[in-house]
Amino acid sequence: MYERPEGIENCRIWIDGCFDFAHHGHAGAMLQARQLGKELYVGVHSDEEILKNKGPTVMNLEERITAVTACKWSTKTIPNAPYVTDPKIMEEHGCPYVVHGDDITTDANGEDCYQIVKDLGKFVVVKRTPNISTTDLVGRMLLMTKTHHYKDLNKNWKDLLSEDNLIRFKNYSTDETGLNKGSGVYLNIPDESELKTIVEPNFNLKDQKLVYIDGGFDLFHPGHIEILKLVFEKAKTANAKVIVGIHDDLTINKYKGLNYPIMNIFERSLCVLQCRYVNGGIILNAPYKPTKEFLDKIGNVIKVYHGPTELAKGVYEDIDLLENIPKHKFDNMNTEFIVNRVLNNKAAYEERQKKKGWKSEVEKVLKSKEARDV
């Protein structure tokens, strides 16, 4: 059912959603949708529509638009798309087909949001990314769990390189078509003199000028995106590519405590990889303190950047290539800022979690019925 129509590869594709916390599950859907056609238009629902049909958003419309636009597989972002997919809106934007995951999404009345386009033969299914959703992330904040963390990668780095993870790293490192090689994925093992290549990029790392920035990139948000965009623009003028170091879960938890990071290193790395401003690649298990020896390990690093947050004492003291990124429109945003949004509205989000439970039962019944009708 809902097989790929003939000639879809020549079409502009439509996808829509809330994209609250634009996590790697959303990016995975956009990747698969982009792989099907020649362009991808992404409809983003308004805060009011989401509140009515699902519950309160954590991120507002401007923030969600920023995140979706930063995804390298998105051709154009369409704000205020209706919650129930409207074929007339799709037609206005020249999109004959809509793509969605293999789950059912319902509106406030418990009705399938895609039933109209399904009946018209305009609906195409892709595989939903397992084990991640905005609901899951909100749950981690409310319950303060740490079971999602990876253990010390200096000793247990092979845990990160499972067969499924390797497939995902390869897929998310593709170019803007989702079909060809793009950026690289590397692993830093402290005792080794070379980075371990996980995914080969479409360029020679050692021959390429690079700019480097590192961090946790937890709950990958507009603050991160704006910094990466500014770094990307600076790199472009120097004919360099952006490579991002990502700290492991143990390191972030050591400095931030509680149950941080909310997203583990695998989830955070996919969020960074899907960003159009990261065209060089990522380095997993990057050291908290980048040394000259580590930068030499990477290759021809011509500049090291740091965001507008206060520099931790001694972290960059040996780096003469360092340049600070100035303040920007989302510089008030960090992971704690977002977590506090959730905790300050705990009752509303707990009600959303309950509503999600009720809706999931309705959606299971609809999915079962749909399977019987095939």
Q: What is the pLDDT of residues 84-128, one digit of tens each?
A: 999 999 999 999 999 998 777 888 888 899 999 999 999 999 887
pLDDT for the residue 362: 37
- Are residues 153 and 293 both part of a single domain? yes
- Are residues 198 and 313 both part of a single domain? yes
Is residue 341 in a domain?
no
Tens of pLDDT, residues 260-273: 999 999 999 999 99
- Are residues 317 and 194 both part of a single domain? yes
pLDDT for the residue 2: 56
pLDDT at 39 over 80: yes
Tens of pLDDT, residues 300-327: 999 999 977 776 677 877 778 889 888 8
- Are residues 177 and 243 both part of a single domain? yes
pLDDT for the residue 44: 97
Is residue 91 in a domain?
yes
* 189-193 contacts, C-beta under 8 A, 24 or more apart: 189/154, 189/157, 189/285, 190/154, 190/287, 193/297
Please give the residue that has the higher pLDDT: either 296 or 314.
Answer: 296
pLDDT for the residue 113: 92
Is residue 101 in a domain?
yes
- Are residues 253 and 305 both part of a single domain? yes
Share of the chain above pLDDT 90, in %: 67
- Sign of the alpha-carbon torsion through 329, 132, 71, 218: positive
Which neighbouring-strand residues pair with 100? 125
Is residue 45 in a domain?
yes
The pTM of this model reads: 0.89
- Are residues 180 and 131 both part of a single domain? no
- Are residues 175 and 126 both part of a single domain? no
- Are residues 153 and 120 both part of a single domain? no
- Are residues 320 and 197 both part of a single domain? yes
What is the extent of the structural domain holding 53? Answer: 8-139+347-373
What CATH number is attached to the domain comprising 90? 3.40.50.620
The whole-angstrom distance between residue 121's C-alpha and the CA centroid of its chain comes to 30
pLDDT-derived band at 24 (thresholds 50, 70, 90) equals confident
pLDDT-derived band at 371 (thresholds 50, 70, 90) equals very low
pLDDT for the residue 315: 80
Is residue 338 in a domain?
no
- Mean pLDDT on 66-85: 97
- Are residues 221 and 105 both part of a single domain? no
Candidate ranges 23-37, 115-129, 216-230, 343-357; pick with highest mean pLDDT: 216-230
- Are residues 177 and 228 both part of a single domain? yes
Nearest CA to 263 among 300, 217, 228?
217
For the chain, the domain total comes to 2
- Are residues 35 and 100 both part of a single domain? yes
CB 160 within 8 A of CB 150: yes
Least confident of 35-44, 115-124, 149-158, 325-334: 325-334
Is residue 30 in a domain?
yes
- Mean pLDDT on 183-204: 96
pLDDT for the residue 144: 86
CB-based contacts of 200: which residues, under 8 Å, 6+ apart? 181, 184
- Mean pLDDT on 244-254: 96
pLDDT-derived band at 350 (thresholds 50, 70, 90) equals low
pLDDT at 364 over 50: no
pLDDT-derived band at 158 (thresholds 50, 70, 90) equals very high
